[in-house]
Amino acid sequence: MIPRTLRIAGMLLVAAQIGCSETAPPDPVTTSVPAVQASPTDTPPTLTPPEPTTAPPTPSPSPVPIAYITTPCPVTLGNGSTPPLESPSPGFHGNGELWTRLWDEGTVMFVPGGPGNVAWGRLKSMAMGFEWWRGVTGTLTIRGRRLDAPAPPLRSQVHGGYGSIGFQPAKVLFPTEGCWEVTGSVGDASLTFITLVELGSEGLASIAPAESVSGIPLLAWNANSGRYEARPVDPSTGRDLPDRVPIGAGGELGFAWYNAFSQDGRKFASFEAKGERVCWDFGGGSGLCGTNEAVLHLIDLQNWTGITAPLPSNGRAVLFTYSPDSTRVALTYLRRSDDGKQQKNTLMVFDAATGDVLSQTDLAFKPSLLEYGSEGSELIVYGAAEGPVIRVSKPGPPQLLLLDAATLQVNWERKFPDLVSGYWCVTNCELELQHRDYVNWEPAVILSDDQRKLYIVHAADDRITTVDLDDRTLQETEIRVARSWMERLLDLTAGVVEAKGWPEGVTRAAALSPDGARLYVLTHETRAFRSESGTLLRTLPGSLGLRVIHVKTGRVTSTRDTEADEIRFTPDGKHLLLDSRDGSSTMLEILDAESLDSVATLGQWRVRLARDLAGEPIMLATRALEETTTRFAVLDPETFEVVESWLGPNRAYWVAPWP
């Protein structure tokens, strides 16, 4: 069964990039170059122009002939020098100050459907992403030249948002094929390699070897059809599995955030927006976008067959869930209300084999959780109603519905009037969006693995609400920090300290231990600083770290400082995965779940715990290099080191189910 604490519908592993700088150095002088074989201590020779000399002017200077190499390109092979925090790989090449990862056999290959991008405009270029690591502080610059024929110098784009040291993705734009020398520099440190650039005609994802390989579904953009397609690949190589034709599985608008797997991992449902895009403004700077045509894709992954079912126009699917027996798919559909002033949320249930609509009903609130109950006889729906003016007015109190899974009739309903939740404007709400002051309170809502209990960790106070879904009962538990007698004595004698700022919002994220005994809670707080007249001066976000809370007593048993935003368990429950995201920078820290000691750290990798098509657990990762290239990898689930990796297009994503 798939742990509900880990299942996030359509969670995608995509790293954002912000900002870039492009450089194009002047034409260098080209000379002949001997063949190079890199070693762990040697680097390819750096070709530099001769030292300038001063000589009397001559009336007619004779041009100096340029010698190009005529032998095969002396490509650089990786010397095995591994960057900090990375797993060893034969493709790594470095000198202790700078590192990069070289292509197999020293050849950068551009092929249709593969990584990189070929542009045939005024400035012809073949753009490919490269991974760099800086052991010295500074900005990376890249220059290069062709060694075997005349050519313009290469250009580069170095993406911002990655700090002044450590990992740095960049894009190299080769103007032609051929043998190229590339040099990366940070201050006085530099690293040079030679690579062969070729333009191929066949895709990298050719048919896999004849032996049986258990694949992983990959969603990849097909530019010819204008949509995303699902295709099973060998996770170690990225090659297509034999006899598996790609199946349409999503459109460009909001395709991948809205999908789900059945609990056995054998079926997959996704939303595809088609046709003309339409957006509506609800006022207050909020709107809704949809298309005039949409379909639901239902794919049988074992038999590799698929069907489509029509969906209402002018909206989009948001939440998906399969019934425990995989025969039904429930989803919530968001669209504009008939008066055009509000959003309309509809719950729909489909036959997973035929695509027929079995039942549907309108919801009076915006759902944020949708799951089937433990026996599949009920649907669990949690959410809150939007205010009169969406994202300006305060939302209504959260509420919980238990619906009959067949008829969608309400079996039980409960509202939480004391639970502060939502995002709304508090001051200057009549002004333009940039002048308003907002608050945001996000409780953590977690469903137990057996779907019998719902846990709500309040955002506005230290409290846990436990809902027993079988008994229809609620229990409130105060979160308590164990303190010594001296700390309690100081509390009694301490004076009042004037606060410098006060909370404008708290966001919680949580994971439930496999035995259901402990909650692991991350808290982020935003504090506001105002003048004496109440004018907002600034807001300051900050992390309050990780707390481990005993569910029944509310006692905090351990804590750890962290800036992480998301938390989840590995399938065996032995480790915690803590994701931190700051702009385009990503960090994953793996902790021992009992001691909270750090086990490993993965910089810039986005990791997914998954299951292949044979049902075996697998740990997958992606690292986006630039807008056309992504590195895909398989990690060792014990050591968290990269076992296999390959380059693919950026608009491609793992879509394997959680175990």
In this prediction, residue 166 carries a pLDDT of 86
Residue ranges, comma separated, of all CATH 2.60.40.10 domains in the chain are: 20-45+65-199
Instruction: Output the average pLDDT for the chain.
Output: 79
Q: Is the pLDDT of residue 24 over 50?
A: no
Determine whether domain 20-45+65-199 maps to CATH 2.60.40.10: yes
In this prediction, residue 286 carries a pLDDT of 52
Q: Rounded distance, CA 272 to CA 270, Å?
A: 7
In this prediction, residue 541 carries a pLDDT of 74
In this prediction, residue 614 carries a pLDDT of 73
Average pLDDT over residues 305-323: 88
Beta strand spans in 397-452 (E): 399-404, 410-415, 422-427, 437-442, 444-447
Average pLDDT over residues 272-293: 67
Average pLDDT over residues 404-428: 93
Q: Is the pLDDT of residue 161 over 70?
A: no
Cα three-residue angle 119-123-128, rounded to 5 degrees: 45
- Count how many residues are written for the chain: 659
In this prediction, residue 187 carries a pLDDT of 94
pLDDT 10s digits, 318-359: 899 999 999 999 999 988 766 656 678 999 999 999 999 999
Residue with tokens 């709304």: 424
In this prediction, residue 314 carries a pLDDT of 77
Q: Is the pLDDT of residue 563 over 50?
A: yes
Most confident range (mean pLDDT) of 9-23, 457-471, 501-515 is: 457-471
CATH code: domain 251-417 is: 2.140.10.30
With bands split at pLDDT 50, 70 and 90, how would you rate the model's confidence at 260? confident
With bands split at pLDDT 50, 70 and 90, how would you rate the model's confidence at 254? very low
In this prediction, residue 648 carries a pLDDT of 82
Q: Is the pLDDT of residue 293 over 70?
A: yes
pTM over 0.85: no
Average pLDDT over residues 555-560: 95
Q: Rounded distance, CA 236 to CA 635, Å?
A: 10
pLDDT 10s digits, 359-407: 999 999 999 999 999 889 999 999 999 888 887 889 999 999 999 999 9
Q: Who contacts 162 (Cβ-Cβ below 8 Å, separation ≥6)?
A: 168, 169, 584, 585, 604
Partner residues linked to 351 by β-bridges: 328
Q: Who contacts 420 (Cβ-Cβ below 8 Å, separation ≥6)?
A: 441, 443, 458, 459, 460
3-class state of residue 263 by DSSP: coil
Helices (H), 257-305: none
Least confident of 101-115, 438-452, 584-598: 101-115
pLDDT 10s digits, 194-217: 999 988 754 333 323 333 347 888
Q: How many helices (H) and strands (E) does the chain have?
A: 1, 46
Average pLDDT over residues 302-316: 85
Measured torsion, CA atoms of residues 409, 415, 420, 423, in degrees rounded to the nearest 10 = 30
* Residue predicted with more confidence, 92 or 482: 92
The distance from CA 44 to its chain's CA centroid, rounded to whole angstroms, is 36
Residue ranges, comma separated, of all CATH 2.140.10.30 domains in the chain are: 251-417
Q: Is the pLDDT of residue 31 over 70?
A: no
Q: Who contacts 97 (Cβ-Cβ below 8 Å, separation ≥6)?
A: 134, 135, 136, 186, 189, 191
In this prediction, residue 602 carries a pLDDT of 86
Q: Who contacts 266 (Cβ-Cβ below 8 Å, separation ≥6)?
A: 300, 301, 302, 326
pLDDT 10s digits, 116-152: 777 655 456 788 888 899 999 999 999 999 999 998 8
* Residue predicted with more confidence, 17 or 508: 508
